[in-house]
Protein backbone atom coordinates (compact mmCIF):
# COMPACT_ATOMS: atom_id res chain seq x y z
CA UNK A 1 0.00 0.00 0.00
CA UNK A 2 1.37 3.40 -0.96
CA UNK A 3 1.70 6.24 1.38
CA UNK A 4 2.61 9.70 0.26
CA UNK A 5 4.80 12.24 1.95
CA UNK A 6 1.66 14.27 2.52
CA UNK A 7 0.12 11.40 4.51
CA UNK A 8 3.17 11.21 6.69
CA UNK A 9 3.19 14.91 7.33
CA UNK A 10 -0.50 15.00 8.13
CA UNK A 11 -0.14 12.05 10.44
CA UNK A 12 2.80 13.67 12.15
CA UNK A 13 0.66 16.70 12.79
CA UNK A 14 -2.07 14.49 14.20
CA UNK A 15 0.28 12.82 16.64
CA UNK A 16 -0.33 13.51 20.27
CA UNK A 17 1.91 16.26 21.55
CA UNK A 18 0.90 15.74 25.11
CA UNK A 19 3.07 14.77 28.03
CA UNK A 20 1.20 12.22 30.04
CA UNK A 21 3.60 11.10 32.71
CA UNK A 22 2.43 12.03 36.19
CA UNK A 23 3.73 15.44 37.08
CA UNK A 24 5.91 16.08 40.07
CA UNK A 25 4.37 18.07 42.85
CA UNK A 26 5.58 21.60 42.52
CA UNK A 27 7.14 23.20 45.60
CA UNK A 28 5.37 26.40 44.61
CA UNK A 29 2.07 24.69 45.46
CA UNK A 30 3.18 23.94 49.01
CA UNK A 31 4.42 27.52 49.33
CA UNK A 32 1.05 28.86 48.19
CA UNK A 33 -0.73 26.69 50.77
CA UNK A 34 1.59 27.91 53.54
CA UNK A 35 0.95 31.50 52.53
CA UNK A 36 -2.84 31.02 52.45
CA UNK A 37 -3.03 29.26 55.80
CA UNK A 38 -0.25 31.20 57.49
CA UNK A 39 1.21 27.83 58.41
CA UNK A 40 -1.89 26.73 60.36
CA UNK A 41 -2.91 23.06 60.44
CA UNK A 42 -5.16 21.91 57.60
CA UNK A 43 -7.79 19.27 58.32
CA UNK A 44 -9.05 16.78 55.72
CA UNK A 45 -12.78 17.09 55.01
CA UNK A 46 -15.21 19.96 55.38
CA UNK A 47 -14.65 21.10 51.82
CA UNK A 48 -16.11 19.49 48.70
CA UNK A 49 -14.06 19.31 45.53
CA UNK A 50 -15.76 17.90 42.46
CA UNK A 51 -13.50 17.03 39.54
CA UNK A 52 -13.52 14.19 37.00
CA UNK A 53 -11.40 11.10 37.68
CA UNK A 54 -10.08 11.28 34.13
CA UNK A 55 -10.13 14.58 32.24
CA UNK A 56 -12.00 14.49 28.95
CA UNK A 57 -9.76 17.35 27.82
CA UNK A 58 -6.78 18.43 29.94
CA UNK A 59 -7.05 21.93 28.51
CA UNK A 60 -10.46 22.57 30.07
CA UNK A 61 -11.30 20.49 33.12
CA UNK A 62 -14.54 21.40 34.90
CA UNK A 63 -14.20 21.55 38.68
CA UNK A 64 -16.36 22.88 41.48
CA UNK A 65 -15.70 23.59 45.13
CA UNK A 66 -17.90 24.30 48.10
CA UNK A 67 -17.46 24.59 51.86
CA UNK A 68 -20.24 25.67 54.16
CA UNK A 69 -19.52 28.92 55.90
CA UNK A 70 -16.13 29.39 54.22
CA UNK A 71 -14.80 32.89 53.75
CA UNK A 72 -12.39 31.77 51.03
CA UNK A 73 -11.54 28.66 49.01
CA UNK A 74 -8.21 28.38 47.24
CA UNK A 75 -7.79 25.96 44.32
CA UNK A 76 -4.39 24.67 43.26
CA UNK A 77 -3.25 22.41 40.43
CA UNK A 78 -0.26 20.98 42.25
CA UNK A 79 1.50 19.67 39.15
CA UNK A 80 1.14 22.73 36.93
CA UNK A 81 4.21 24.93 36.37
CA UNK A 82 2.15 27.66 38.05
CA UNK A 83 0.01 25.81 40.59
CA UNK A 84 -2.28 28.71 41.54
CA UNK A 85 -5.71 28.45 39.89
CA UNK A 86 -8.01 30.74 41.86
CA UNK A 87 -9.01 31.89 45.29
CA UNK A 88 -12.74 32.41 45.69
CA UNK A 89 -13.67 34.87 48.42
CA UNK A 90 -17.16 34.80 49.94
CA UNK A 91 -18.54 37.83 51.74
CA UNK A 92 -20.79 37.66 54.77
CA UNK A 93 -23.90 38.03 52.60
CA UNK A 94 -22.97 35.22 50.20
CA UNK A 95 -26.00 32.94 49.70
CA UNK A 96 -23.75 29.90 49.38
CA UNK A 97 -20.08 29.16 49.35
CA UNK A 98 -19.86 27.42 46.00
CA UNK A 99 -17.84 28.12 42.88
CA UNK A 100 -17.22 26.29 39.64
CA UNK A 101 -14.74 26.93 36.86
CA UNK A 102 -12.66 25.17 34.27
CA UNK A 103 -8.96 24.70 34.70
CA UNK A 104 -6.08 23.62 32.55
CA UNK A 105 -3.98 20.69 33.71
CA UNK A 106 -0.51 20.10 32.27
CA UNK A 107 -0.72 16.39 33.10
CA UNK A 108 -2.01 13.86 35.62
CA UNK A 109 -1.83 15.50 39.03
CA UNK A 110 -3.60 16.36 42.26
CA UNK A 111 -6.05 19.22 42.34
CA UNK A 112 -6.31 20.66 45.85
CA UNK A 113 -8.97 22.87 47.40
CA UNK A 114 -8.32 24.58 50.74
CA UNK A 115 -11.12 26.40 52.49
CA UNK A 116 -10.84 28.97 55.24
CA UNK A 117 -13.81 28.09 57.42
CA UNK A 118 -15.99 30.37 59.54
CA UNK A 119 -14.11 29.53 62.73
CA UNK A 120 -10.82 30.46 61.09
CA UNK A 121 -9.64 26.86 60.70
CA UNK A 122 -8.61 25.38 57.36
CA UNK A 123 -9.95 22.33 55.54
CA UNK A 124 -8.59 20.55 52.52
CA UNK A 125 -9.79 18.21 49.77
CA UNK A 126 -7.60 16.55 47.15
CA UNK A 127 -8.57 14.83 43.93
CA UNK A 128 -6.23 13.13 41.52
CA UNK A 129 -7.22 14.00 37.95
CA UNK A 130 -5.73 11.87 35.25
CA UNK A 131 -4.81 13.35 31.89
CA UNK A 132 -4.43 10.56 29.38
CA UNK A 133 -3.77 10.17 25.67
CA UNK A 134 -6.82 7.96 25.40
CA UNK A 135 -7.84 5.50 22.72
CA UNK A 136 -8.30 1.76 22.98
CA UNK A 137 -11.74 1.82 24.60
CA UNK A 138 -13.36 -1.60 24.90
Distance CA 96, CA 101 (A): 16
Q: List residues near other proteins by CB under 8 A.
A: 1, 3, 7-8, 10-16, 19-22, 50, 52-57, 62, 100, 108, 130, 132-138
Non-local (6+) Cβ contacts of 62 within 8 A are: 51, 52, 100, 101, 102
Shortest reach from residue 50's CB to other proteins, in Å: 7
Amino acid sequence: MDFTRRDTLALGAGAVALTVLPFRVNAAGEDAIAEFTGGADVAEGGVNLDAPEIAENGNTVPISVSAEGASAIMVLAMGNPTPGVATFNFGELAGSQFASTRIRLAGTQDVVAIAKLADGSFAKATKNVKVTIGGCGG
